[in-house]
Amino acid sequence: MKSISTMAFVAIALSTLPVGAESGDLAIIKRRVIAELMNSSIDDREVKATIDRMNNDGSFRDINYVDLSRTAGFPQRNHTYRLVYLAQAHRSKASSFYRNEGLKERIRRGFKYWVDNDFFGDNWHNNQISTPTNLVNLMLLIGDELPVDLVEKGQPIIGRAHMNASGARPSGDRIVIAGILAKNLLFRGDNEQFDRIIELIEGEVKFTTGSRGMQHDYSFHHRHDRVNNTTSYGYTKYANAFGEWSYYVAGTKYAFSVEKKNHLIDYYLEGILKQQVYGIYPDVSVKNRSITRQAKFEPRGIVELERLMQSTEYRKEELEEIIRLRNGEARPSQAFAKFFWQTEHFVFQRPDFYTTVRMFSTRNRNMEVPYNGPGKPTHHRADGTNYLMLKGDEYHNIWPVYDWQKISGTTIVQKPKLYPPNQIQKKGLTDFVGAVTDGLFGAVAFDFISPHDFVEAKKSWFFFDREYVCLGTDINCKRDLPVVTSVNQVLMRSQVTICRNGKVETLPEGKRELDKVKWARQDRVGYIFPEPATVNLSNQIQTGRWSDITDQKNISDALVSEEVFAMWFDHGLRPRNASYQYIVVPNVTDQELSETSESNRSISILSNTSEMQAVKHSGLGISQIAFFKAGLVEITDDTVVGMSSHGMAMVKMEGDRIMELSVSDPSRTLSRITMSVSGIYDSQGEGFSTRPMRSKSSTTVTIDLPQGVYAGKSVTVSL
């Protein structure tokens, strides 16, 4: 690939405008880009209202042009957005403003006002992306009809989007900036430079594990902090931007290779779509600072998926299934377990529920820095967060009324208030953070020490078909403050029922401590306590303000009220070796809970100690174990499983025989794992071996572990 120098971009900005008719591939691509810009409805009433807000000098009366600070959110960008909208109306035959000279004059004045003032925000993104994007779109729509000298004055502003700009580092923004440049080259008619920039865009789809970009587990890191950005920067600014240009250049000499397009499809299906609820809705667990912005609950679009299928048949049926789901033409059917070992994020889906566990370790940091204001209370959102979604809207816009020290799944010191936003991002303090999975079932282990409060806990989650188990032990804290583990904090969508002392009761609204609780249920989700437990439960209205959870300006300070269900264990002040255990049962009725809770749904907790956490599901014949150190566990009367080191294991049995072993090393320090199992097994395969010891009626199994970029990934072997 040829390199592109800063001087080349300066030359582009100073070159003359294209003249004459355009033809060939560049013209085809330009027509596609313009067609995309025109692919939106124009409301003539809105056009008139926009014109009416404009002053004679081209400014708008309702825009604050003075405050350019990062927390203001750059409201000045609305000026250039409006100019693009007016240009769309001017070009649209469906609008009464089509080719209207008065409208064109308004656009000219508005453009002149901008280039004369050249509003430069404190946030680089406004200067290198949002403003150049709007101005280059304006050029493509109407630039040929504006005065040449005025257009030339705008070129240096558009030219701030270049490949040596600070924001063009390898990450989600690189393709976006390259795309802005490519659009400007289309407008300028520069074939040679366009050829080079398209090569650059194509080359961005690749693995860059350990750095910014796509990781080998198909998660995405926008920065060197290794925070999960798969469904933010890695979706809209990376995958969708690449897909957009793949569509623009399809069928021309600039077309991207099938290999690159197929790689992008893998990234969608194994990364992005497995971190969305059923591949349809946004997943709040992977959000970072954006979680404190008010959002819409709606299916993701299908355009990007349709574009992927334009010129390749690769995994077409899977993409078509997601399109049907997003269009409401199908019901979820996928069942999978996926651990993103580069990102410390676990996802588990069944056709009727979707749940996640978010963690961090010495290998990555917990959360984004709250750049530009949003996300100020997100300190603990990676502390073993466990969100559960049946529909996808269970936590929708709960955040202004949320108790940010009782985040679902977490164990948190209850401080008088959270630390300042500049103390949110922290590196993990432990190595043993990971999961074991065979792609269908899985378990997660988190040796947790809070870098904020230094509370310690061993936390594990064990996922089966219709339920999952949450264990915590060795919970210690030296501060004179309460420590709680939150079972869930979620929007309340139904009455709350509980079972105590064999009696089922419906709770009135309120907040209370309850003892001897066997199970509780709210909004089709049941919570079973293997041993009747004392829990705190709140089912009442909570209030707050969006302006309380962000330092951005111009955020509503109106009081928001929501009915919220919250349940948690109170471990008390300065807990020593505290513990908890509970089973989560999605999509369940009160009657089913009553009928299955006494047997704990065929689940046995084999161990919940500082050395080992282990659970068996006798109905499925699956046992899952987190060995925090070497040890043995009895799975059945005749079967003992041991590991000679730390690690994780999942054992699948038929009768009294082990059929499959899955193992992993959450610490990423081992090259192999050695296990001992009861019974004689004489199997060999790639990466593993067995050594039967007939005198002891046991077998030693040695399994090689993935290394390098795959360290932390699970291995499954058949016995």
For residue 98, being part of any structural domain is answered with: yes
Collapsing DSSP to helix, strand or coil, 585 comes out as strand
What is residue 644's DSSP assignment? Answer: S
What was the pLDDT predicted at 192? 85
Q: Which amino acid is present at 549?
A: I
Report yes or no on 286 lying in a domain: no
- Mapping DSSP to helix (H, G, I), strand (E, B) and coil, where does residue 176 land? helix
The least confident of 2-11, 121-130, 362-371, 486-495 is: 2-11
Q: What is the CATH number of the domain that holds 512?
A: 2.70.98.10
* Three-class DSSP category at 546: helix
Residue 217 falls inside a structural domain:
no
Torsion-angle region of 315 (φ positive above 0: left; ψ -120 to 50: alpha; else: beta): left
Band of pLDDT at residue 524, cut at 50, 70 and 90: very high
The parent domain of residue 704 ranges over: 606-718
pLDDT above 90 (res 311):
no
Q: Summarize pLDDT for 218-240 with one digit per residue, the tens.
A: 999 999 999 999 999 999 999 99
Average pLDDT over residues 652-681: 97
Q: Is the pLDDT of residue 2 over 70?
A: no
Angle, to 10 degrees, between the axis of helix 172-188 and the axis of helix 25-37?
A: 110
Which of 134, 169, 204 marks a domain boundary?
A: 169
Helices (H), 534-659: 590-596
436-486 per-position pLDDT tens digit: 999 999 999 999 999 999 999 999 999 999 999 999 999 999 999 999 999
Neighbours of 149 (CB within 10 A): 7
- Same domain (yes/no): 515, 548: yes
How far, in Å, CA of 627 to CA of 266, rounded? 33
Residues 591 and 647 in one domain: no
Query: What are the tokens at 113?
Result: 């006002």
User: Is the Cα dihedral 186, 187, 189, 193 positive or negative?
Assistant: negative
Same domain, 49 and 73: yes
**How many angstroms separate the Cα of 645 from the Cα of each of 326, 339, 608, 697, 702?**
45, 21, 18, 21, 12
Within 76-190, residue ranges assigned H as helices are 77-91, 101-117, 124-125, 131-142, 148-158, 172-188
pTM listed for this prediction: 0.93
566 found inside a domain: yes
Residue 248 forms part of a structural domain:
no
Q: Which residue has the tokens 């020593």?
A: 576
User: Do 556 and 632 sit in the same domain of this protein?
Assistant: no
Considering only CA atoms, which of 109, 89, 107 is closest in space to residue 99? Answer: 89
Structure tokens belonging to residue 136: 């280059």
Residue 86 has pLDDT above 60, yes or no: yes
Residue 513 forms part of a structural domain: yes
Its sign, for the CA torsion 361, 362, 367, 368, is: negative
Q: Which of 540, 574, 601 is at the close of a domain? A: 601
Does the pLDDT value for residue 13 go beyond 50? no
Q: Mark whether 638 and 588 lie in a shared domain.
A: no
Position 310 scores a pLDDT of 85
Say what percent of the chain tops pLDDT 90: 93
Residues 594 and 612 in one domain: no
Per-residue confidence at 23, pLDDT binned at 50, 70, 90? low
Please identify which residue in the block is written with the tokens 């990555």.
364
Same domain, 501 and 532: yes
Q: How confident is the model at residue 70 (pLDDT cuts 50, 70, 90)?
A: confident
State the CB neighbour count (10 A cutoff) for residue 466: 17
68 shares its domain with 45: yes
Q: pLDDT by residue (tens digit) across 692-710? A: 999 999 999 999 999 999 9
Task: Indicate the SS3 state at residue 368.
Answer: coil
- For residue 686, the 8-state DSSP code is T
3-state secondary structure of 651: strand
**Inside any domain, residue 318:** no
Local confidence band at 22 (pLDDT 50, 70, 90 cut-offs): very low
Residues 429 and 548 in one domain: yes
pLDDT above 70 as % of the chain: 97
In terms of domains, do 404 and 552 share one?
A: yes
Which of 575, 601, 627 marks a domain boundary? Answer: 601
| 624 and 557 both lie in a single domain | no
- CATH (domain of 103): 1.50.10.100
CATH at 620? 2.60.220.10
Element (H, E) at 536: strand 525-544
The tokens describing 252, both together, are: 């021309």
Overall domain count for the chain: 3
pLDDT at 8: 37
Q: Do residues 112 and 39 share a domain?
A: yes
First to last CA, the chain: 48
Give the tokens for residue 524.
């089709």
Output 71 or 636, whichever has higher pLDDT. 636
Domain assignment present for residue 231? The answer is no
Token reading at 291: 């979680």
Residues 6 or more apart in contact with residue 192 via CB below 8 angstroms? none
Residue pair 575/593 in contact (Cβ under 8 Å)? The answer is no
